[in-house]
Chain A
Amino acid sequence: MFENSSSENPSSNEGQQESSVESAVENTTESPEVVEAKIDDNSTEVIESGENLLSEAASGLKAEEVEGGSGFLDTAKEKMSQITETINTLVITTKDKIKSLVSADSIPEDTDETGEPGQMSRRKFVDISTKTAAGVAAGAELGLFSKTGEASEQTTEQENEDLEEVNELIDQYSEHETTLSESEIKDGLEQCSFVDEVSVHSLEIPEPYEMFTNTDPLKEALDKAIASGEISFDDESLEVVQVDFGDIGRFAYGAFYQHSTEAIFLDQDNDKERKKAQLEMAAVATAITAERLTLLTQVERSNLSRDEKRQKIEEIWDAMEQISGPATNPSEIPALISKHKEKVEQDLADYMASNEKQKVITETCLPHEAFHDFFKTKLGAEGYEGPGTAELLTMSLKGQRDRFGDDLPYYSDIGFNIEDLDLSDDEAIENFSTEITTKHDLTDIKPKPENFAELTKEEQDDSREKDEFESFLNEYLARIYNGAMGNTPESAEAKMDEVDAEYDTDPTEYEYDEIFHKPSEAELAMLRQMKWQGKSLVE
């Protein structure tokens, strides 16, 4: 009944999805009852898959262990319920429209007793696309895929041409520079008036990070490089170290400041051979996943019974979830890449866009990270003139209140400490800040005491309180300073949009308002008062 009429040679998965729907309609309108059953079936699938995916994401990310994670989940669930309600309403109104068309004496034709075909839902398609990225990472980690470009004798001329085009794209992308150059770093830091000299180093990690090992590859490599004289830090310069964050197990932002070494670390990814290998793996992973999607659609349109279909779909779905699952014969890969070329090229563009965005993030964070060095080494030291920490904390608490109200930004851990503070009362904030900064020297940043567990509860609470206020103040000031240097939510988003326009990719939804702050006039005035060796932080 539901012949596979259009999936032999789909130009893309997207196109295939479209034709799947059209074909099903042609075949089902023989009977209004079958159409109604299909409406029930695919709406249920959309609802269930959406809700399941949200649950899977929450559990995979261990969202409830993350600060604010439960709140995010509740909000997402509420939005998902609203969508479910809209779908249910859509189903009722659509069925009503069909009923009103059908005459009362209409006799339904015999339908396939296997029931309605499980329509391949678009939700599932979207999910598979998302999983491809995870598959790429897993594949790269495990080195499972053979390289493309090694076409077998059976490869057709068309496949060879397609493969060549994909390889050219991979070559072009792997040659593209996505690491900041030394001059770009120095230019980015030149605007920081408190920075005189900048030393840029590149650090290789001989023994990269591995999961489930309790090692610190960054510390080991840095200690070794300093001991051998390969890298030398001096007191005069701001030290910047470029290192591949993947090698040190920091799958995070493009930059961070380390208090113990007083150095800024920037992500670099200039190993072109490795980049090329990752792109090749990405191409193969995409082609394999896309092919499995085709198999899914074929099963759904087959004449198998409903239970058989469900079982086969589950099997394919399981295989898709673990890209390292059932082996794909390497000789089949050129044909798969050729067949799914459009999707492969789009995924490669996504990969490049994400590399470019990483570079943008790194660049826009330079003054922010430099400010952390100012906070650690210069704020309150000899040579510093300007407001003290009580005044700075007062301004930051007011600034946080004015920007976020009671809904604290993700970098602020002080919620519990300010529970009893009336944030609408400026004088109360000033008194509170004086009290906190009298109790703790927030500029004296020290690692957590080794004997923390042996401290009394009161001592532990004090230690936490100091860390939380230091961290909040340090982060808030770094953000407004970075904003004063031109890195605002608007400017960062515009730079990201440029990358998306270049690669024709979808925007990444960063929390621009929380990562970047445009300083208020009062905050700018405060930054102007802050001086290092006579020079204001902001002109």
Chain B
Amino acid sequence: MDKKDEKNKIEDIYDEYIDKLRELQKEQSKVINDFINQVEQKKLEKIRREL
């Protein structure tokens, strides 16, 4: 394999990796947002109940 082919293949591998990493970041974001929503819901419900 010449240097150019090798470079292209590495680029492809890296692109694939970045796409997967992005998907995993989205998953992280969802976990955090879900957590924030759960805690806020609890807080809001408590305020509501206390009225």
Which residues of A are in contact with B by a Cβ distance under 8 Å? 21, 25-26, 28-30, 32, 35, 38-39, 42-43, 46, 50, 53-54, 57-58, 61, 63, 66-69, 72-73, 75-76, 79-80, 83, 86-87, 90-91, 94, 97-98, 101-103, 121-123, 126, 250, 252-253, 256-259, 410-411, 413, 471, 475, 508-511, 514
Contacts and interface: CB of A to CB of B under 8 A. Distances in A.
Interface string B1-44: 10000110111011111101110111111011111111111111
Contact of B28 (A28, A32, A83): A83
B33 A509 contact: yes
B35 A73 contact: yes
Residues of B contacting A: mostly: helix
Residues of A contacting B: mostly: helix
**Ordered nearest first, which 10 A-B pairs have the shortest CB separation?**
A50-B28, A76-B35, A94-B17, A252-B44, A72-B38, A79-B31, A122-B25, A123-B25, A66-B42, A29-B7
A256 B36 contact: no
B41 A30 contact: no
Contact of A50 (B7, B32, B34): B32
Contacts of B29: 123, 126
A39 B51 contact: no
A30 B7 contact: yes
A398 to B, nearest CB: 22
A35 B17 CA distance: 11
A86 B27 CA distance: 11
Nearest to B14: A25
B37 A510 contact: yes
B11 A25 contact: yes
B24 A510 contact: no
A101 B6 contact: yes
Given A509-B37, A510-B37, A257 B51 contact: yes
Contact of B36 (A57, A411, A514): A57
Given A29-B14, A83-B31, 16 more contacts: A28-B14, A29-B11, A35-B10, A39-B17, A46-B21, A66-B39, A80-B28, A80-B31, A87-B21, A90-B21, A101-B9, A102-B6, A122-B21, A126-B29, A252-B44, A475-B49
Nearest to B15: A25
A29 B18 contact: no
Contacts of B35: 54, 57-58, 63, 72-73, 75-76
B46 A98 contact: no
A258 B50 CA distance: 9
